[in-house]
Structure 1
């Protein structure tokens, strides 16, 4: 059995092989850059107006309107002292422009423009290179592309992007007691749900599960399922069958498939019977079968490796230290990840902390870490892992 930090260090220290690919910009959301992106030109590429209004030459309250410039125009208007030009947001400002004044603060009579007050030098003009200079690094290698990132890259005229490939994920659930949705559930059976939760958790953080299988508690069937998945996946996630019961065959089946144990069992609650193994460049997590345990272990241990395999600079869940809303005493002899909800700057430990209880996790947005046999007073800070 290992401590939490030791288990996390083993995962962090794994040597991985990541490969890159060229993808269309529109298909890059959630992917990580395999090389940095630099600005091919100044951004903006020319001085332009920040609003609809009038470009002015000089600092006065009365101007003569001599023309108009719309966005996209190749206008060659050159203003002289006391002159103005009608201009629209994003349009290139005429040569010699001192400022742009918004139209709401002006009055027009014929070709005369009157201002409520004199403008300030340079106001409402977006200067060339104000956001980026040519050659400046826009995004570092490992940056995970967001919707805003796609917009930024698109504004640089880049249509194809070199990114790291994402890992191929397979998911296997085991258990004779599990019934597929749509089938008749008998006494002593339960509907299988962990695969839905784990698959959705992958998707929530930008990954996709390529294959999902349910296998009965049969050693040869589990062994065969492992063999098939290891041939075509980068990471295999098990749910169930990893404890010490007579029908828990996963650990032995992994060993017979040549998977080398990196650690087995973590001194924590929930999720003690957690397994992590490796075969060459393939990785295996065997998570506990209890729903809350399975999902908690995914968030804390599997997600960091998924990021690592995808070339991301992210290390795992975002973390905050926030004051606790009520006194709490962790009576467990093990460090605990507790289902919690963050509201108005405080975090509340929720009812329903059992490892089989997932409703409280569905109603919360965080996991709170509290050490074994530790009491926390209202207002004291606790470490929060943000799960949504």
Structure 2
């Protein structure tokens, strides 16, 4: 058995070979850049107006209007001292522009422009290179592309981006008692739900599953199912069958398929019977069958590896500390990840902390970590991993 810290370190220390591919800009959301991005030109490329208004030559309160410049106009406009031109947001300002005055602070009579106040030199003018200069690093390698990132890369003229590939994931659920939702259910059977939770969690963080496979509690079937699943994935996630019962065949089947155990069992609650193994460049997580345990182990451990395999510079859920709304004492005898709800800068530990209780997790938005025997008073800081 390993500690939580040891398990996370073993996952983080795995040597991996990242692969990359070129993706169209519109398909690159959520991927990590395989190379640093450098600006090919100054941004802005030219001095331009930050407002709809008037470009001014000289600093006065009265000007002669001599023309107009719209966004996208490339023809040079000349102004002499005391002259102004109508200009629009984003339009290139004439070379000898002193300032731009927004239209709300002006009035026009015939061809004369009047300002409500004295302009200030350089006001409302976006200077060339004010955001980026040619050759400046825009993003480092491993930067995760979010919508603003795509907007910026598009504005720099990048039609395609070199990104790290994401791992291909297969999901196996085990159990004779499991029935697919929508099918007839006999006494003693339950509807299978963990594969939906895991597939949903994958999608939530920008990953996809390749296959979902249901296997009965039979050694030969489990061994064959694992062998087939390993052939078409980078990461195999198995739910159930990893404890020590008479019908738990997963660990033995993994050994028979040449998977090397990296750790088995973590001193924690929930999710003690967690398995992590490797075969060549393929990784296996065998998660407990209880729904809350399975999903907790995904959030804390599996997600970190998936992000590492995707070239992310930082892995794991965002973690913060919040004042707890009430007193709490961990009496479980193990360090615990508790279903919790963060709101208005505070956190509350929810009722229903049992490993099989998924309703409380569905109503929460965080996993709160409490060490073995730790006692918290109202207002004490509680470490929380945000899951939504």
Q: TM-score, normalised by structure 2?
A: 0.99
Deviation readout 1:296-331 (Å, 9 max, x if unpaired): 000000011001111111211011111111111111
Tell me if structure 2 keeps the 8 A contact 1:75–1:94. Answer: no
Instruction: Give the match for residue 92 of structure 1.
Output: 92
Deviation readout 1:59-112 (Å, 9 max, x if unpaired): 211111111001100131122221111111111011111111111111111111
Tell me the distance in 1 between the aligned counterparts of 2:159 and 2:77: 33
How many residues align? The count is 388
Pairwise mapping of residues 28-67 of structure 1 onto structure 2 (< 5 A)? Answer: 28-67=28-67
Instruction: Give the match for residue 79 of structure 2.
Output: 79
1:283 is aligned to 2:279: no
Tell me if structure 2 keeps the 8 A contact 1:175–1:217. Answer: yes
Tell me the distance in 2 between the aligned counterparts of 1:190 and 1:84: 77
Instruction: Give the match for residue 317 of structure 1.
Output: 317
Instruction: Give the match for residue 141 of structure 1.
Output: 141
Deviates more, 1:126-135 or 1:356-365: 356-365
Tell me the distance in 1 between the aligned counterparts of 2:145 and 2:115: 44
Tell me if structure 2 keeps the 8 A contact 1:20–1:162. Answer: yes
1:367 is aligned to 2:331: no
Tell me the distance in 1 between the aligned counterparts of 2:112 and 2:8: 71
Tell me the distance in 1 between the aligned counterparts of 2:164 and 2:123: 42
Give RMSD over aligned pairs: 0.8
Instruction: Give the match for residue 356 of structure 1.
Output: 356
1:155 is aligned to 2:155: yes
Tell me the distance in 1 between the aligned counterparts of 2:97 and 2:378: 59
Tell me the distance in 1 between the aligned counterparts of 2:350 and 2:114: 62
Other structure's SS at 2:385 match? strand
Q: CA deviation at 1:384?
A: 0.8
Deviation readout 1:250-307 (Å, 9 max, x if unpaired): 0000000000000000000000000000001000000011111101000000011001
Other structure's SS at 2:231 match? helix
Q: Structure 1 unaligned runs (5+)?
A: none
Q: CA deviation at 1:181?
A: 1.4
Pairwise mapping of residues 258-277 of structure 1 onto structure 2 (< 5 A)? Answer: 258-277=258-277
Pairwise mapping of residues 1-388 of structure 1 onto structure 2 (< 5 A)? Answer: 1-388=1-388
Tell me the distance in 1 between the aligned counterparts of 2:220 and 2:168: 24
Q: Structure 2 unaligned runs (5+)?
A: none
Find runs of 4+ consecutive structure 1 residues off by over 3 angstroms: none
Other structure's SS at 1:101 match? strand
Tell me if structure 2 keeps the 8 A contact 1:368–1:382. Answer: yes
Deviation readout 1:159-193 (Å, 9 max, x if unpaired): 11111111000000011111001111111111111
Tell me the distance in 1 between the aligned counterparts of 2:178 and 2:337: 26
Deviates more, 1:55-64 or 1:202-211: 55-64
Tell me the distance in 2 between the aligned counterparts of 1:105 and 1:187: 78
